[in-house]
Structure 1
């Protein structure tokens, strides 16, 4: 490439960490602890509806409208249960607060295969690393609890920056914090438009984590596709 890579930026959800189970079973278990029975599948469906509606109405955790992400999520959880037929507000407030706190901890998250090893290897190569994620401000503590935070020089969330990927501003902020030119940086993520294409549009290199079996992506050269995270090692060595 003519430019040695100096900075790697990483997406987190479904790139480095994923939920151990869908939200339905987690939400159902929390409800059951309060004596409320709801089918996990019903909660999966109503969560998608509630999340999409809230995201349309208050993009990026309502930051522009002065909402806290905590309030944003509490409202999503309550609406999820209301759509599934649960309406007792006192119980819903308890459930929502508990879930908000639980998703901060490690027990709802697991590392993707090879995440830890790949980050350690990149770190040993002397690469600077940062996170660029459409996430709320709980991400710092999630990364700490999952023993990943120490790999990163900085963690940029869409809530903190005030814009979400694919907005170029979040990538430009990462380049500034990393102290590099775009051609000296690469972004790794699992979403074609928010990760792969958005990073390329600001002039960065980009790699798409694309596990076999997913539908094929438009215009992504095979050399830019990572079937597993460890493929990155070969790519960087070659560069």
Structure 2
């Protein structure tokens, strides 16, 4: 039996892959500057005296406070969630609402994001192989504007955005909608992302193949360190 060099999936175990589904933030898309720096700088413009470290601590605490069971969503729900996060981070600004609006708009701007340097190459190679390319994200509708403004955006055949379909990863329905959108079966679909529960365990529960993108992983099953490793996985599977 031929063994894949990445993970433990063998050629004989599955049909050929027909779709690759990419997470957005942390996988193909990265904020510039990073989230904590952006919060710190904008907070200071509104009168905050918090240190960058304290902003980071408060942001992580607020962001991770969202219950894992709160997986139904909408653009309105996401908007209020980010208002909650900003409010938890900045209690010392002059005008909390103005600070929130500026931060929300900041992350809507294409100039506040950069694509991974390997994204275009990987998507182009997949397209030449006839593989369906999908971006599937827990980001909200702001992602559309970011993709529309980038030459990378048109390289995705499909977009699935949680706030537009009503479910966040790792809700089972999210992955079902991705498969319906791509027109593929679970066994024909590969997910890749940087969150273990949302991008690896969630899809795997439906029978999809999935890779965790983690620059620090070393020899871990179904884990890759670079985006281009997706192409190696396809060659082996």
Deviates more, 1:119-128 or 1:93-102: 119-128
Name the residue aligned to 1:161: 165
Name the residue aligned to 1:227: 225
Q: 1:10 Cα deviation (Å)?
A: 1.0
Name the residue aligned to 2:8: none
1:42 pairs with one of 31, 54, 61: 54
1:72 pairs with one of 62, 70, 81: 81
Question: Aligned pair 1:63/2:70, yes or no?
Answer: no
Say if 1:214 and 1:104 are closer, same or farther in 2 by CA, change over 3 A: same
Name the residue aligned to 1:101: 105
1:31 pairs with one of 43, 48, 65: 43
Cα distance in 2 between the residues matched to 1:81 and 1:58 = 26
Number of equivalenced pairs = 225
SS at match of 1:233: helix
Name the residue aligned to 1:19: 31
TM-score normalised according to structure 1 size: 0.83
Does the CA-based 8 Å contact 1:105-1:145 persist in structure 2? no
Q: 1:127 Cα deviation (Å)?
A: 1.1
Name the residue aligned to 1:115: 119
The Cα offsets for residues 93-135 of structure 1, whole Å up to 9 and x where unpaired, read as 1111011011011233222231221112112221111122222
Q: 1:35 Cα deviation (Å)?
A: 4.7
Name the structure with the higher helix share: 1
Which structure has more relative contact order (CA 8 Å, sep 6+)? It is 2
The Cα offsets for residues 9-57 of structure 1, whole Å up to 9 and x where unpaired, read as 111111111223443321222133345443222211111222233x239
Cα distance in 2 between the residues matched to 1:59 and 1:165 = 10
Cα distance in 2 between the residues matched to 1:192 and 1:216 = 16
Does the CA-based 8 Å contact 1:24-1:42 persist in structure 2? no
Cα distance in 2 between the residues matched to 1:126 and 1:154 = 14
1:151 pairs with one of 152, 155, 170: 155
Does the CA-based 8 Å contact 2:48-2:90 persist in structure 1? no
TM-score normalised according to structure 2 size: 0.83
Say if 1:169 and 1:237 are closer, same or farther in 2 by CA, change over 3 A: same
SS at match of 2:21: strand
Cα distance in 2 between the residues matched to 1:25 and 1:176 = 38
Cα distance in 2 between the residues matched to 1:143 and 1:200 = 27
Equivalent positions of 1:187-202 (< 5 A) are: 187-202=191-206
